[in-house]
Structure 1
Amino acid sequence: MSGVNGAGGVDLLTPERVTDPYPIFAELRRRQPVFFNEHYRAWFIHRHDDLLAALKDTRFSSDRIRPVFEHKLTEAQRTERAPTYRILGEWMVFRDPPDHTRLRKLVSRAFTPRAISLWQPRIIEVVDSLIDELAPRGHMDVISDFAYPLPAVVIAEMMGVPPGDRDLFKDWSDDLMVLVFGARGVEGRRERAQNGLLELSEYLGGLVRRFRRAPEENLITTLIRAQEGDDTLTDNEIVGTCILLLFGGHETTTNLIGNGLHALLQNPEQLERLRAHGGDDYLRAATEEILRFDGPSKMQVRMAATDIDVGDQVIRRHDMVYLVQAAANRDPAIFAEPDRFDLERNPTEHVGFGFGLHYCLGAAVARLEGSIALDALARRLPDLRPGPEPPEWHPTLISRGMSSFCVSYTPSEGAAA
């Protein structure tokens, strides 16, 4: 296989594969759909049918934080990283049933369709306010100037974070990126990132105590009130959930907007279709195609709870398994002309937000923010075009997103129509 480093090792984070991972994913999907990659000492599953089956199969465990902490770290590493693992251990994405079932039932009370729809007017306000500021400039970095601030404001307001404290969340969210996804060149930041995570945990714990004493209408109060029979969430569970939502709310929406605009500018005929059609139904379908074509997540991670046969391979108990959504979403067995970006495709079978037990809880919020943002950018900046510098992509295995994406447009008055 081209690009193999040694026997069975494929580096997925070379510069060209960080920029465009789809050629190597297509090659692996075609030639080694279930592949033990020596470079990562883990299995990678690339075909849509195999991946969907794995997402439905509880033998592919999400409880991978505890086994790694207990069995794969040295004593010194366990001592050093214990605070991080304690907090991440509260995240439902790292839990299996019945713990996951209990947590998800309680947390989902805050994410009903009605609760999310109530945020639509405020999301529109934030989007228009950001574009009002940016329109007269004639250029922007889509990520730092627009795609990051939007979900940062929304998730902070949802949680009831005072306006003066919201800038703190950017550094804390960056720290989470280091601890959860890792990236080349960030090992030296781990200690500082862990300290940031502890600061965030302490800050959110203070908000939980405050809203227990004096409830307000916000996400934290909703989580405090959530009840299933006699069961409620503990303070630690609420803090852990808020950290997960902060991280997911920032990362997913930022990447969805950035990747979506990048795909539209690379396919200008599709951008013109978006401008010409508009409307909620078209925007919804367009967002689904963005999630399929170049979504915010490249893969999800599981651990085999027992020996599992997949195709002609046997995945052994405790082996790490990467479910490559980005490869599955371009599987020609499911999607005709999968490498073509087509806003009228309506790809209902994509797995951009996962499937089953661990389907992304905040998917509806990300979809809403992403569709409103891309529609407003297309309408209000009619000659939007890529800047002179190519985008800079995060060198991470799990997520798919940019750290910088510069665009230009004709300066205009800021007021929304």
Structure 2
Amino acid sequence: MSNPPTDDRPTAIPDDEVLSPERIADPHPYFAALRTHDPVHWNEQYRAWFIHRYDHVLDALRDDRFSSERIRPAYDRLTEEQRAQRQPTYDVLMDWLVFRDPPDHTRLRRLVSRAFTPRAVEAWRARVVEVVDELIDGLATRSGFDLIEDFAYPIPAVVIAEMMGVPADDRDRFKDWSDDVMILVFGARGVGDRRARAQQGLIELAAYLGELVDHYRRRPADNIISNLVEATEGDDALADPEIVANCVLFLFGGHETTTNLIGNGMRVLLGHPDQLARLRAEPGLIKPAVEEILRFDGPSKMEVRTLVDAVEMGDKTLPAGDMVYLVQHAANRDPEVFAEPDRFDITREPNHHIGFGFGLHFCLGASVARLEGTIALDALVRRLPNLELGPEPEVWVPTMLSRGLEHLPVSLT
């Protein structure tokens, strides 16, 4: 696998560390510098290409030479000893539809997507409103709280668990499992035992979901697991390992994406009081406000691909076999596409962001995240007009692919 020399790296880019503390807190200046000076950037530290311009990222998301199947190649590179140790992790991740290319991806998505039709998602609106209002009822009389722990996390945790058919008494168990899986999938830093922790979480979660699949096969109900068990097209149906693996994906993705959308969104609104005042005066702007949050500081920072063939991009040749990071955060602030891209504007129109990806791998749960995020942020803005950022420091989760807060202290003045 050939790679370009690194001695011509632009002087405007001091180093290749994506996960330095200052870049975890605010990655946008770093991405902007790369987008300007070296938009197709070979990162020596991570031994991968980082793509920063909107048109390049969009081209890559449309191009089947940028493969999503990064789990099987990673497994094939392992030694026999490593395979024996990590087999349970790969058994689950290799069946995630987000890590498959056509025709496998086409088949899985066709069967799985029936659980996420617009009608099926909209049917949960009343329950989401109920969950949000109950949480705000409990927070409104307090002097302050952690917006993530006390509000943004519980909403998707309750909703996705109910959508899956998880009994209420078991919901709290998913937080630990989800946190463990996130460490591995999103590339967290500074967790020495992350593989062991993530694998143990996957083993326990997969075993639990396997029991639920058996239960709902015998006693079908109105939930996602039952829909997946019953999903057929001709003679084709999902195998139990495929159902379990993609339920892990839904539970994990349902937690992380929506939690980060709500947390990032409220932080951005509180940091832009003019836009927050506009939204309070015109609550009908909540939907474009959510879209602008997804563009300005959305929950997905970048996506990963592996090149199955050489690609010419910009003035570079990207060899087959190289790993590529498609930096959505940089693309969504590209001045060639968005006027005044560093300005947060809830009335921005048009707003062709790619915060949920694009094309074949457009986020399957985007409609659920939008529903929950819109309802949650609208309720916070309407019902807690005295909400402010708290005096304690915010804490970001140090991951490569996602953008989210671990803690966001707020006060009610």
TM-score interval for Structure 1 and Structure 2 normalised by the shorter chain: over 0.9
Aligned match of 2:217 in 186, 204, 212?
Answer: 212
2:90 is paired with a residue whose SS is helix
Residue 349 of structure 1: how far off its partner (Å): 1.2
Partner of 2:163: 158
Specify the code of the residue in structure 1 equivalent to 2:305.
R
Which amino acid counterpart does residue 289 of structure 1 have in structure 2?
Answer: E
Aligned letter for 1:169? F
Aligned to 1:366: 369
Identity of aligned residues (%): 64
Alignment gaps of 5+ in structure 2: 1-10
Instruction: Give the RMSD, CA atoms, in angstroms.
Output: 1.0
Please give the secondary structure, in 2, of the residue aligned with 1:152. helix
> In structure 2, how many angstroms separate the alpha carbons of the residues matched to 1:74 and 1:262?
44
Select 2:59's aligned residue among 47, 53, 62.
Answer: 53
The size of the alignment, in residue pairs, is: 403
Question: Does 1:332 find its partner at 2:335?
Answer: yes
Return the match for 1:21 from 19, 24, 27.
27
Deviation at 1:3, TM superposition (A): 4.7
> Do the aligned residues in 1 keep the contact of 2:184 with 2:194 (CA within 8 Å)?
no
Correspondence for 2:132? 127
Q: Determine if contact 2:187/2:401 at 8 Å carries over to the other structure.
A: no
* TM-superposition CA deviations, 1:121-166 (whole Å, max 9, x none): 0000000001111111121101111100100000000011111111
Of 33, 37, 40, 1:31 maps to: 37
Letter of the aligned partner of 1:4 in structure 2?
P
Contact 2:12 2:37 in 1 (8 A): no
The answer on 1:235 being equivalent to 2:240 is: yes
| Corresponding residue number in structure 2 for 1:248 | 253
Name the TM-score, length of structure 2 as normaliser: 0.96
- Secondary structure of the residue aligned to 1:187 is coil
1:413 alignment counterpart: none
Q: Paired residue for 2:399?
A: 396
3-state SS of 1:36 partner = strand
Cα distance in 2, alignment partners of residues 117 and 348 from structure 1: 23
1:288–1:346 CA contact under 8 A, matched in 2: no
Q: Deviations over 1:335-376 (max 9, x none)?
A: 000000000003431000000000000000000100100010
In structure 2, the partner of 1:354 is 357
- Picking from 382, 386, 390, the partner of 2:389 is 386
2:115 corresponds to which residue?
110
Question: What is the TM-score normalised by the length of structure 1?
Answer: 0.95
The residue aligned with 1:310 is: 313
8 Å CA contact retained: 1:289, 1:346: no
Quote how far apart the aligned CAs of 1:295 are. 0.3
Name the SS for the 1:90 alignment partner. coil
Cα pair 1:289 1:347 within 8 Å, conserved: no
The Cα shift of 1:75 comes to 2.9
Code of the residue aligned with 1:318 in structure 2: it is G
CA contact (8 A) 1:160 1:218 kept: yes
Aligned to 2:294: 291
8 Å contact 2:264–2:404 — kept in the other structure?
A: yes
1:28-60 C-alpha deviation (Å, 9 max, x unpaired): 000000011001000010000010000000110
Amino acid of the residue matched to residue 29 of structure 1?
A: R
- 18, 27, 31: which one pairs with 1:12? 18
